[in-house]
């Protein structure tokens, strides 16, 4: 049954250092009850290919299968199919997995033991058992306490609770979530008395047990948790999108002067702490990237939502041809050029067609005046002037193959919080001087706007006065003057701006010779540069940003053979990512990055070595070296070895070279030496 730890055990094997070392390729795919062949093939290919080309998503199933077969031919691979319900899923795919007697393996997890018979597995299914009382207590202690040891005052009730979980790991985890935020003896006594035995063979009894976690939730968290049931099984939801949807649906109420999105993020963290929400992917800075809930909990949310009449089916996300849409009925109508004037949808708050392409921005969407969240994918994603009819709209997300021209009426949408265009060099239509002025003599503006992305700096001359509360901003366009200076609107007055992306599209005559630090706001925490052509000697500019925590230098953001950091001190920098740069030599010391926690060096093919002294940074936790040459990989390994010899076992070094991935913090030293000699 669910919750016995099938996925956990498979994941433990999958991520074991020896397994990582032994297999050329590894891939993980969640199958679920309803699967799409193309999605599975894309998921597996994405595990082997960094930055999957866009054209792959337009290929037919058999074309993707052929690419997968060629990729795996003659290689030693491990592929995990998690939560497979029907052996037909494997029958649809097995032709693309060559059996060259290289020691390759395919691993399944399933709730149906008969699957192993139908797929003709080499070995009988390994049927997991319920845990013993001692094993259950060990799981409980590790989940509850940082030291893994329960305080004597709570041990009696803790053992009673774990005993009543009947050895089901998922039940133990949920029980731990109930207790984690309340350490009082009386609360533990209450849970020990009320936690019914899990009758694993009786679904209704099992649902009653799950209800304990739900009933313990504060009222403000319940709609947020139930909303997970709107998404398909095993679907990973990006944290930012989920938070925006919660806000759009009206689940989040302001707390004092706090921004709704910040409150929502705290709600999500609370659900994670309660073991109700899983976080499959984490960002480089340690924040949640994607989240999902367990299948059993999703079933529970759907039952509970029906019982409590929480939202209707029109708010659910449905799949069509591997594309996700909500509500699907409207998506299909708009995709076919139809009209949506039904009374059923007049109160609709969310229309998400981000995965369902249309030819042009649908005019009919502007009649859904109650919309708070609108996401559109179109060949031509430029909205008409009537977009301002959506006066309640808070989130506008556009994915377009052509550059988007936003109408000047966008400045009339005073409730807009996030304007997120995913690609291209996009413009905002120029406004005549008379139309820009309000009755009080001020420029029309969007005081609620927090996110503005992928817009040309040429159309944002008055961005600071018109959107003074921006928190995330992305410029895409000409950022370099003909004299070689970096140019964009002065952002120093945007006191709330935390994240800034600068993508230059102007042809670089030579290296960018200057960048004025006064143009950046002092509270900036994350900066991403791409194609800006900075001279490495100008990098000291960014060390003057007192709150900078994340710095990402991407394709040709800096030009030159050597980066010598000199006396520059990035005092608060926690994450440094160097991606697709041409530098050959990097000279740096621990004093340049005193608080660095994560260093990522990716596709810097000419870089010879990682500075050895960086290993002496006390806060450094992870060094990633992906797609670089062997000498860079070797220098990272030497840093890890030196730190081990000095007693630092906390630094984790990960590398990926020639399609192999190594976790150098875990691989035995003998294997490391063997790989170097190879």
> What pLDDT digit, counting tens, does each position of 81-126 carry?
998 878 888 999 999 999 999 999 999 998 777 777 788 777 888 8
Average pLDDT, the chain: 86
DSSP state, residue 130: P
CB proximity list for 100: less than 8 A, separation 6 or greater: 73, 74, 75
Tell me what the mean pLDDT of segment 45-63 comes to: 87
Please, what is the angle between helix 169-179 and helix 185-194, to 10°?
Answer: 140
Asked if 587 contacts 611 with a C-beta cutoff of 8 angstroms, the reply is yes
Burial class from Cβ neighbours inside 10 Å (0-12, 13-18, 19+) for residue 642 reads: middle
Choice among 37-41, 204-208, 482-486 with the minimum mean pLDDT:
204-208
The encoded tokens of residue 552 equal 């990402």
Cα–chain center distance at 604? 24
Asked if 320 contacts 352 with a C-beta cutoff of 8 angstroms, the reply is no
Strands (E), 604-673: 622-626, 652-657, 660-663
Q: How far apart are CA 631 and CA 633, in angstroms?
A: 5
The yes-or-no verdict on residue 387 having pLDDT over 50 is yes
Q: How far apart are CA 580 and CA 603, in angstroms?
A: 5
> What pLDDT digit, counting tens, does each position of 318-375 carry?
876 687 888 888 888 888 877 776 677 888 899 999 988 889 998 889 989 999 999 9
The residue ranking higher by pLDDT, 439 or 164, is: 164
Asked if 41 contacts 65 with a C-beta cutoff of 8 angstroms, the reply is yes
Asked if 595 contacts 573 with a C-beta cutoff of 8 angstroms, the reply is yes
Q: What three-state secondary structure class fits 363?
A: helix
Which of 536, 546, 544 lies closest to 568 in space, CA to CA?
A: 544
The encoded tokens of residue 400 equal 């377009």
Tell me what the mean pLDDT of segment 14-27 comes to: 93
The yes-or-no verdict on residue 437 having pLDDT over 80 is no
Q: How many other CB atoms are there within 10 angstroms of residue 114's CB atom?
A: 10
2 band by pLDDT with thresholds 50, 70 and 90:
low
Name the strand (E) or helix (H) holding 107: strand 105-108
Task: Please list, residue by residue across 580-598, b when 16 or more beta carbons sit within 10 angstroms of its beta carbon and e when fewer do.
Answer: bbebeebebbbebbeebbb
- Sign, CA torsion 610/612/613/617: positive
- What's the confidence (pLDDT) of residue 467? 94
Listed as own residue / partner, the contacts of 632-640 with beta carbons closer than 8 Å and 24 or more positions apart are: 632/601, 632/604, 632/607, 632/608, 633/657, 634/676, 635/608, 635/609, 635/610, 636/610, 636/664, 637/664, 637/672, 637/676, 638/612, 639/610, 639/612, 639/614, 639/615, 640/615, 640/664, 640/665
Tell me what the mean pLDDT of segment 456-467 comes to: 90
182 band by pLDDT with thresholds 50, 70 and 90:
confident
Q: Which residues pair with 107 in a beta bridge?
A: 80
Choice among 47-51, 311-315, 513-517 with the minimum mean pLDDT:
311-315
How many angstroms separate the first and last alpha carbons of the chain?
44
Question: Could you give the dihedral angle defined by the CA atoms of residues 321, 324, 325 and 331, in that order, rounded to the nearest 10 degrees?
Answer: -30
Asked if 29 contacts 48 with a C-beta cutoff of 8 angstroms, the reply is no
pTM of the model: 0.74
Tell me what the mean pLDDT of segment 167-174 comes to: 81
Q: What three-state secondary structure class fits 254?
A: coil
> What pLDDT digit, counting tens, does each position of 587-597 carry?
999 999 999 99
The residue ranking higher by pLDDT, 225 or 295, is: 225
438 band by pLDDT with thresholds 50, 70 and 90:
low
The encoded tokens of residue 49 equal 């290919």
Q: How far apart are CA 343 and CA 340, in angstroms?
A: 9
The yes-or-no verdict on residue 661 having pLDDT over 60 is no
What backbone phi and psi angles, to 5 degrees, belong to 499?
Answer: -130, 130
- What's the confidence (pLDDT) of residue 444? 74
- Tokens 């299914």 appear where? 125
CB proximity list for 440: less than 8 A, separation 6 or greater: none
Q: Which residues pair with 406 in a beta bridge?
A: 428
Q: Is the peptide bond before 583 cis (omega within 30 degrees of 0)?
A: no
- Sign, CA torsion 215/217/222/228: negative
């Amino acid at each position: 049954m669910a919750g016995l730890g099938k996925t956990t055990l498979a994941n433990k094997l999958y991520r074991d250092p020896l397994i990582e070392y032994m297999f050329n390729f590894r891939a993980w795919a969640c199958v679920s009850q309803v699967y799409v062949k193309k999605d599975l093939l894309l998921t597996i290919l994405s595990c082997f290919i960094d930055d999957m080309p866009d054209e792959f998503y337009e290929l037919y199933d058999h074309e993707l299968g052929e690419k997968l077969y060629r990729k795996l031919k003659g290689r030693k691979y491990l592929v995990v199919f998690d939560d497979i319900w029907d052996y037909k899923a494997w029958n649809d795919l097995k032709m693309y997995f060559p059996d060259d007697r290289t020691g390759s393996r395919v691993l399944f997890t399933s709730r149906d033991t008969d699957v192993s018979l139908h797929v003709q597995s080499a070995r009988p299914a390994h049927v997991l058992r319920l845990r013993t009382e001692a094993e259950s207590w060990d799981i409980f202690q590790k989940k509850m306490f940082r030291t893994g040891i329960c305080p004597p005052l709570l041990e009696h009730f803790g053992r009673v609770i774990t005993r009543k979980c009947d050895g089901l790991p998922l039940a133990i985890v949920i029980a731990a979530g109930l207790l984690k935020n309340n350490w009082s003896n009386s609360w533990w006594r209450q849970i020990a008395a009320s936690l019914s035995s899990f009758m694993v063979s009786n679904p209704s009894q099992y649902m009653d047990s799950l209800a304990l976690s739900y009933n313990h939730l504060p009222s403000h968290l319940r709609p947020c948790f139930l909303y997970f049931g709107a998404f398909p099984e095993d679907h990973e939801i990006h944290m930012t999108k989920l938070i925006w949807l919660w806000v759009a649906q009206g689940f989040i109420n302001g707390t004092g002067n706090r921004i709704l999105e910040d409150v929502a993020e705290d709600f999500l963290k609370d659900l994670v702490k309660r073991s109700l929400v899983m976080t499959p992917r984490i960002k480089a800075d340690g924040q949640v990237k994607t989240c999902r809930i367990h299948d059993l909990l999703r079933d529970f949310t759907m039952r509970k939502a029906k019982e409590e009449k929480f939202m209707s089916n029109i708010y659910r996300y449905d799949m069509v041809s591997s594309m996700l849409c909500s509500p699907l009925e409207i998506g299909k109508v708009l995709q076919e050029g139809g009209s949506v004037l039904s009374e059923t949808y007049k109160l609709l708050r969310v229309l998400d067609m981000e995965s369902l392409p249309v030819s042009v921005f649908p005019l009919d969407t502007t009649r859904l005046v109650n919309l708070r969240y609108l996401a559109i994918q179109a060949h031509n994603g430029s909205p008409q002037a009537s977009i301002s009819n959506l006066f309640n709209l808070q989130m506008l997300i556009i994915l377009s193959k052509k550059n988007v021209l936003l109408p000047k009426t966008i400045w009339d949408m005073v409730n807009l919080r996030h304007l997120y265009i995913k690609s291209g060099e996009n413009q905002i239509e120029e406004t005549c001087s008379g139309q820009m002025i309000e009755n009080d003599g001020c420029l029309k503006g969007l005081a609620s706007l927090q996110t503005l992305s992928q817009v040309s700096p040429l159309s944002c001359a008055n961005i600071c006065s018109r959107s003074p509360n921006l928190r995330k901003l992305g410029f895409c366009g000409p950022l370099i003057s003909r004299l070689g200076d970096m140019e964009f609107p002065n952002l120093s007055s945007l006191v709330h701006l935390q994240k800034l992306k600068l993508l230059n599209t102007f042809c670089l005559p030579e290296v960018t010779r200057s960048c004025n630090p006064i143009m950046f706001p002092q509270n900036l925490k994350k900066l991403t540069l791409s194609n800006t052509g900075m001279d490495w000697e100008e990098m000291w500019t960014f060390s003057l940003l007192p709150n900078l925590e994340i710095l990402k230098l991407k394709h040709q953001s800096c030009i030159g053979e050597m980066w010598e950091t000199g006396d520059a001190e990035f005092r608060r920098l926690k994450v440094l990512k160097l991606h697709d740069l041409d530098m050959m030599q990097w000279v740096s010391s621990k004093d340049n990055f005193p608080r660095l926690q994560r260093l990522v060096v990716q596709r810097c093919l000419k870089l010879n070595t990682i500075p050895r002294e960086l290993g002496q940074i006390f806060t450094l936790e992870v060094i990633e070296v992906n797609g670089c040459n062997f000498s860079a990989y070797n220098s990272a390994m030497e840093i890890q070895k030196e730190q081990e010899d000095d007693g630092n076992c906390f630094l984790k070094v990960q590398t990926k070279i020639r399609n192999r991935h190594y976790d150098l913090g875990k691989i035995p030293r003998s294997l490391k030496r063997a790989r170097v000699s190879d």
